[in-house]
Amino acid sequence: GQNIDQPTEMTATEGAIVQINCTYQTSGFNGLFWYQQHAGEAPTFLSYNVLDGLEEKGRFSSFLSRSKGYSYLLLKELQMKDSASYLCAVRPRAAGGFKTIFGAGTRLFVKA
């Protein structure tokens, strides 16, 4: 089967660093995405990894290890506005290559 696991909830303090982990088991691999979703809003794209290693984009970084089926999203200098759900999503190597499997999301609470 195909499965994506990520923690349900995390809490962190404003100004701190938080790491949100994601493990996946899919039939093939064609890229991993992280999306941010504020309550009541649409998910928005944060990052994309297809090769092993770290991708940095401002305060957000995403890491991928294909051999371990593992990724993490690192948020630095946390701000209150970072309180949101973070969705890990994997695109398996399937016919057409369009399908994406989403994890249930990690709800991050940033406290003052």
For binding to other proteins (CB under 8 A), which residues are involved? 4, 8, 30-31, 33, 35, 40-45, 48, 50, 87, 89, 91, 96-100, 102-105
Q: Which is nearer to other proteins, 10 or 31 (CB)?
A: 31
**CB of residue 44 vs other proteins: minimum separation in angstroms?**
7
**CB of residue 80 vs other proteins: minimum separation in angstroms?**
22
Q: Which is nearer to other proteins, 53 or 112 (CB)?
A: 53
Measuring CA to CA, which residue among 22, 26, 40, 30 is closest to residue 86?
22
Identify the bridge partners of residue 90 per DSSP, sorted by sequence position: 32, 101
91 secondary structure, DSSP code: -
Q: Which is nearer to other proteins, 13 or 25 (CB)?
A: 25
Q: Are 88 and 102 in contact (CB under 8 A)?
A: yes
- The enclosing H or E element of 47 equals strand 44-49
